[in-house]
Structure 1
Amino acid sequence: MSPVINIIRVGKGRHHFDPKWKDRKDPPLSAYGINQARFVGNMFPHKGKIRRVFSSPMTRAIQTALEAFDPLNALDMPITVEPAFQVPSNRPSDVGSAWEDLVETFGLAVDASALFDDPDWFMNGSDTQGGDSTIAKQQAQKALRVIWEAAQGMSEHDHIVVIAHGSLINELFQGKLAIGYDEVLPCRLIDSPLSDVPMLSPENDLLETSSIDNQGGGLDGDWGSEIWLPRCLGRSRRCLLLSLT
């Protein structure tokens, strides 16, 4: 079997709370978002089994990854910054920073080599606020390819973590499985006969699920009363989804 893919939504950025950041590019995490990321890091049960951590190149996404999984850097496992997980939108808060700036900011904590071949990655989105559907679908296919390639050679006991944005996660789940980002129906990643990369496909019934009460987690009611962690037991891939709302 293949590794478990853990898809975690980026924590809330400063632009969600501070009007001054609405029209600035690449806003950082808010204090609320930092708490969200730390909460996920504290409750994540398989840190010792993580083999790769991918992040969108947006500053708030990298910060989410570092706040949740920074101790992994002690194992020489930097966060892999991957343009395939960027936001498919060119609104100010979704326009990122050049790779040189990211390396200067985060140093050896990140591996930004994937940005070298695409120096204009931060201008690859849509001019529409919600993102163009065609671009979003192309972005989702790029993301699936990255996940698929990373999973090769790993065992069922290994874990891959992906820090991505809500719009891309919604596209990955084809707009069908994400329900307000608070609960997610089971899904699986299966090999598509039309492509060499996996496609997402829904399951009919809930498989293994567990819920997490947010009490004591340092988060307020916006988190929701619980998060669903569907244990997706697909033929080819398995996927867990955590959502920071």
Structure 2
Amino acid sequence: MTIYIYLVRHAQGQHNVAADHTLRDPDLTALGIEQSTQLAISFPYHDRITHLISSPMRRTLRTCFYGFKNRGKGDDNGTRKPILALPELQELSTMPCDVGSSVAKLDAEFNTSEEKVVDLSELPDGWQLFKLDSNSLFAPNMDRLEKRAWQARRRLREIGQKYERDHPGQDAHIVVVSHGAFIHFLTGDWEGMTKEGQAGTDWRNAEWRVFEFVEGDEDEVRLRETEESWRRRKGDTPRLTETQQRELKTNVEKVLEEDKKEWKKVTVCFQE
């Protein structure tokens, strides 16, 4: 069977429109909420969804909440599963806008005694500050980012494989809401990541694309955009060659090192 990954970039965040990177874990703007609710209307595969997974940042969780809440198959008894928050899916930088909130704050904001909207079980205490440690897996170094992306892909595949074992003959359809820059690491597609000398993305707010795991690739755990998804976006435009992707990746690495100098100017010591 097949594991389908519906990758979604979060809707417009407050830092996107204000260009203010000092905002700590910003929420969605009014337009971002509108983009998310429109996603709930326009996304064509709600009835297929088996899992909702998100970066633990507020803007990604909120996008998932408004865009996919109460959608999909849910459990066998009809109960909707909560959104699983995976720390590996968080954004790259150490700027305040890309540093998350504590487990306690997220729990208080999203969950109630009546309803558990977000499953925070995979978030260790202090997860939001790990990236500020240069020795951490979450540090924004090229090798660490690639390893984090690999771990995220492996975890997504594990979740999909478990679903297939528990539901023989059925495909897994997993919604994953993350961040523009990190999605390039997650997919290994570097096209559109650098612009005007900065690391960014060509993914629009609330844009979604469909991916599958590359068959026979047990170690690398690579993702590839489905042909249908590619044609919907690009028509007959050919995909980039591996050589072209390697050249883009080299440029990304150079730009990332330059960007880190700017990040340090606005990175502060966080106190919860």
TM-score scaled to structure 2, two decimals?
0.66
2:120 to 99, 112, 115: 112
2:152 to 124, 127, 143: 143
User: What is the distance in 2 between the residues matched to 1:139 and 1:146?
Assistant: 11
The 3-state SS of whatever aligns with 1:198 is coil
More helix by share: 2
Report the AA paired with residue 38 of structure 1: T
Q: Is the 8 A contact 1:14 1:30 kept in 2?
A: yes
How do residues 197-208 of structure 1 correspond to structure 2 at under 5 angstroms? Answer: 198-201=221-224, 206-207=227-228
Report the AA paired with residue 120 of structure 1: G
User: What is the distance in 2 between the residues matched to 1:58 and 1:49?
Assistant: 25
Q: Is the 8 A contact 2:88 2:152 kept in 1?
A: yes
User: What is the distance in 2 between the residues matched to 1:27 and 1:187?
Assistant: 28
Q: Return closer, same or farther for 1:177/1:149 CA change in 2, 3 Å cut-off.
A: farther
Report the AA paired with residue 82 of structure 1: L
User: What is the distance in 2 between the residues matched to 1:199 and 1:167?
Assistant: 17
The yes-or-no answer on 1:89 pairing with 2:93 is yes
User: What is the distance in 1 between the residues matched to 2:218 and 2:69?
Assistant: 38
Q: Return closer, same or farther for 1:6/1:194 CA change in 2, 3 Å cut-off.
A: closer
Q: Is the 8 A contact 1:89 1:132 kept in 2?
A: no
Offset of residue 87 of structure 1: 1.3
Offset of residue 50 of structure 1: 1.0
Q: Is the 8 A contact 2:89 2:178 kept in 1?
A: yes
User: What is the distance in 2 between the residues matched to 1:45 and 1:135?
Assistant: 35
The 3-state SS of whatever aligns with 1:4 is strand
Offset of residue 77 of structure 1: 1.4
Query: Percentage identity across aligned positions?
Result: 27
Deviation digits for residues 221-240 of structure 1 (CA, Å, limit 9, x no counterpart):
xxxxxx569xxxxxxxxxxx
Report the AA paired with residue 179 of structure 2: H
User: What is the distance in 2 between the residues matched to 1:119 and 1:208?
Assistant: 37
Q: Is the 8 A contact 1:89 1:127 kept in 2?
A: no
The yes-or-no answer on 1:23 pairing with 2:31 is no
Q: Return closer, same or farther for 1:228/1:68 CA change in 2, 3 Å cut-off.
A: farther
Which residue is equivalent to 2:12? Answer: 12
Which residue is equivalent to 1:121? Answer: 127
Backbone CA RMSD of aligned residues:
3.2
Which residue is equivalent to 1:71? Answer: 70
Q: Return closer, same or farther for 1:40/1:102 CA change in 2, 3 Å cut-off.
A: same
Offset of residue 94 of structure 1: 0.3
Q: Is the 8 A contact 2:82 2:119 kept in 1?
A: yes
Moved more, 140-149 or 172-181: 172-181
Offset of residue 5 of structure 1: 1.1
> Number of residues paired by the alignment?
207
Offset of residue 120 of structure 1: 2.0
Unaligned runs of 5+ in 1: 212-226, 230-245
Offset of residue 194 of structure 1: 6.3
User: What is the distance in 2 between the residues matched to 1:137 and 1:119?
Assistant: 23
Deviation digits for residues 38-96 of structure 1 (CA, Å, limit 9, x no counterpart):
22221112212211100100000100000101123883211111111111321110010
Which residue is equivalent to 1:32? Answer: 31
User: What is the distance in 2 between the residues matched to 1:185 and 1:43?
Assistant: 13
